[in-house]
């Protein structure tokens, strides 16, 4: 399958673009940057609520195909808009039982976010998390729909920490959607949601000294095989004087068991006082269900964070994404942003992106939530908004 013409937004390409744009959402590790306010404590069982509401405005100097400028309301520019519940219970034997329920919604219209699931299940209530597990000194085991360990490993090394707009969150997600999103009999995996969320999954996580890691297996649930429709993923980060991250995951076809998606990542971050230099490399290989090569995308990001006072952090990042299998499917992107933390749970953000898209650029090389803004053109995008966490 040739993805060159996806920028025309017709047929299956349109479905992929819409589903991915609706599906993508980032996460720091579950619960990070959220208040986790306790709403009940009964006999040692704590129930908490958390959420993020994020909205702003997006100006785009050119649109595809007309080339006209456009201004729109944009949901989730800095982080995803979510509402979630957590529970934790001390089992009095050195272990805790826990659960996570987390939904994703769009602030501009109040609708549930769509998903990238091949099952066509659309707007799932607990799209991001619906799981239960056990934890102790030995680590944790989580069962159910959940975040994969691969993306979590790179939060500290991706130049913009996989922000919702203008980051390689999209190179990650779009490259793990197309080869698994089809109907029965085509490229398909019903456990994968854009390489970030996985259904029917079990994951072991632990932290050993400065190293945190996770290992996940999503069960294929197919007769007479443990391979077809399955996913396995690993991710690890070393958090010492410097941060180093690595990941690898494989998403297998429902019908043939072929490795439809093979995705790998490496990254590092080095602090220098108020400055932090980051570099991250991602590679995604897509195949047909019979093993034919479709795309091979290299996504490279470098950037510098500068905390220039107590409340402000500025970032400059450059992304170069290219599909080695498809000529001119590439984008070069410069992003400049500033996050003003009025207080730890309330931020006002401004982010400016300059996108130079190749003549055959597709969603697979885009850093913009809605896909390539204007194929074969140079486009300026400005996003200003507020992020309210509780």
Choice among 47-56, 63-72, 352-361 with the minimum mean pLDDT: 63-72
What pLDDT score was predicted for residue 312? 98
What pLDDT score was predicted for residue 4? 33
Q: What is the mean pLDDT of residues 68-75?
A: 95
The per-residue b/e assignment along 323-339, b for 16 or more CB within 10 angstroms, e otherwise, is: bebbebbbbbbebebeb
% of residues, the chain, pLDDT over 90: 84
pLDDT digits (tens, 9 = 90+) for 123-180: 889 999 999 999 999 999 999 999 999 999 999 999 999 999 999 999 999 999 999 9
Can you tell me the distance from the alpha carbon of 363 to that of 159, in angstroms, rounded to the nearest whole number?
20
pLDDT reading at 15 higher than 80: no
3-state DSSP call for residue 11? helix
The model's confidence at residue 8, banded by pLDDT at 50, 70 and 90, is: very low
Q: Which of 86, 213, 191 is nearest to 140 (CA)?
A: 213
Q: What is the mean pLDDT of residues 261-267?
A: 98
Choice among 67-71, 239-243, 356-360 with the minimum mean pLDDT: 67-71
Q: What is the mean pLDDT of residues 11-19?
A: 45
* 49: phi then psi, degrees, rounded to nearest 5: -125, 145
Q: What is the mean pLDDT of residues 86-101?
A: 95
Q: What is the CA radius of gyration of the chain?
A: 20
Can you tell me the distance from the alpha carbon of 24 to that of 78, in angstroms, rounded to the nearest whole number?
13
What pLDDT score was predicted for residue 21? 45
Per DSSP, the residues of 194-231 read: TTTEEEEEEEEEEEETTEEEEEEEE---BTTBSSTT-E
pLDDT reading at 64 higher than 80: no
Q: Where are the domains of the chain?
A: 4-389
Burial (0-12, 13-18, 19+ Cβ within 10 Å), 316? middle
What pLDDT score was predicted for residue 38? 82
Which CATH topology does 4-389 take?
Answer: Porin (2.40.160)
Contact at 8 Å (CB) between 256 and 222? Answer: no
Q: What is the mean pLDDT of residues 260-267?
A: 98
Q: What is the mean pLDDT of residues 311-335?
A: 97
What's the half-sphere exposure (Cβ side, CA atoms, 13 Å) at 24? Answer: 33
3-state DSSP call for residue 320? strand
pLDDT reading at 292 higher than 70: yes
Under 8 Å CB-to-CB from 88, ≥6 apart: which residues?
45, 46, 48, 96, 97, 98
Q: Which residue has the higher pLDDT, 43 or 246?
A: 246
pLDDT digits (tens, 9 = 90+) for 182-225: 999 999 999 999 999 999 999 999 999 999 999 999 999 999 99
Output the CA angle 146-370-174, nearest 5 degrees: 50
pLDDT reading at 26 higher than 70: no
Q: What is the mean pLDDT of residues 268-291?
A: 98
Token readout for 304 is 């510098």
The model's confidence at residue 114, banded by pLDDT at 50, 70 and 90, is: confident
- Locus of tokens 């999103």: 181
Burial (0-12, 13-18, 19+ Cβ within 10 Å), 310? exposed
Beta strand 293-307 pairing with 312-323? antiparallel
Can you tell me the distance from the alpha carbon of 55 to that of 75, in angstroms, rounded to the nearest whole number?
4
Q: Which residue has the higher pLDDT, 383 or 120?
A: 383
Beta strand 211-218 pairing with 243-252? unpaired
Contact at 8 Å (CB) between 92 and 136? Answer: no
Can you tell me the distance from the alpha carbon of 158 to that of 311, in angstroms, rounded to the nearest whole number?
21
Per DSSP, the residues of 49-69 read: EEEEEEEEEEEES--TTT---
What pLDDT score was predicted for residue 35? 57
Output the CA–CA distances (angstroms, integers) from residue 59 to 72, 91, 315, 380, in the order listed: 7, 52, 19, 8
Can you tell me the distance from the alpha carbon of 8 to that of 329, in angstroms, rounded to the nearest whole number?
13
What pLDDT score was predicted for residue 34? 52
% of residues, the chain, pLDDT over 70: 91
pTM across the whole model: 0.91
Under 8 Å CB-to-CB from 307, ≥6 apart: which residues?
274, 313
pLDDT reading at 3 higher than 50: no
């Amino acid at each position: 399958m040739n993805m060159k013409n996806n920028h025309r937004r017709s047929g299956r390409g349109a479905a992929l673009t819409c589903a991915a744009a609706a599906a993508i959402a980032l996460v720091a590790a579950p619960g990070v940057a959220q208040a986790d306010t306790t709403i009940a404590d009964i006999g040692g069982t704590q129930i908490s609520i958390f959420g993020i509401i994020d909205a702003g405005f997006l100006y785009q100097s050119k649109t595809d195909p007309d080339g006209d400028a456009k201004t729109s309301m944009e949901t989730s520019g800095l982080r995803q808009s979510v509402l979630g519940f957590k529970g934790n219970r001390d089992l009095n034997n050195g272990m805790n039982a826990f659960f996570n329920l987390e939904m994703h919604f769009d602030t501009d219209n109040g609708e549930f976010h769509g998903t990238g699931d091949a099952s066509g299940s659309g707007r799932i209530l607990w799209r991001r998390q619906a799981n239960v597990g056990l934890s102790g000194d030995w680590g944790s085991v989580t069962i159910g729909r959940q975040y994969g360990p691969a993306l979590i490993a790179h939060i500290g090394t991706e130049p913009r920490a996989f922000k919702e707009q203008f980051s390689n969150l999209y190179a990650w997600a779009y490259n793990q959607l197309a080869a698994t999103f089809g109907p029965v009999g085509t490229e398909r995996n019903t456990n994968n949601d854009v390489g970030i969320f996985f259904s029917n999954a079990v994951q072991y996580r632990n932290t050993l000294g400065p190293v945190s890691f996770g290992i996940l297996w999503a069960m294929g649930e197919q007769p007479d095989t443990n391979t077809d429709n399955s996913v396995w993923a690993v991710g690890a980060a070393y958090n010492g004087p410097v941060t180093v991250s690595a990941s690898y995951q494989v998403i297998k076809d429902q019908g043939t068991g072929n490795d439809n998606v093979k995705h790998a990542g490496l990254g590092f971050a080095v602090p220098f006082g108020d400055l932090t230099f980051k570099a991250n490399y991602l590679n995604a290989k897509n195949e047909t269900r019979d093993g034919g090569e479709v795309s091979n995308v290299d996504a490279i990001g470098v950037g510098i964070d500068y905390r220039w006072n107590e409340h402000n952090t500025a970032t400059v990042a450059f992304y170069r994404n290219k599909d080695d299998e498809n000529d001119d499917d590439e984008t070069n992107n410069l992003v400049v942003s500033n996050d003003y933390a009025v207080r730890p749970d309330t931020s006002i953000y401004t982010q400016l992106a300059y996108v130079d898209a190749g003549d055959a650029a597709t969603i697979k090389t885009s850093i913009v939530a809605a896909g390539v803004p204007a194929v074969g053109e140079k486009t300026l995008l400005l996003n200003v908004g507020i992020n309210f966490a509780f």
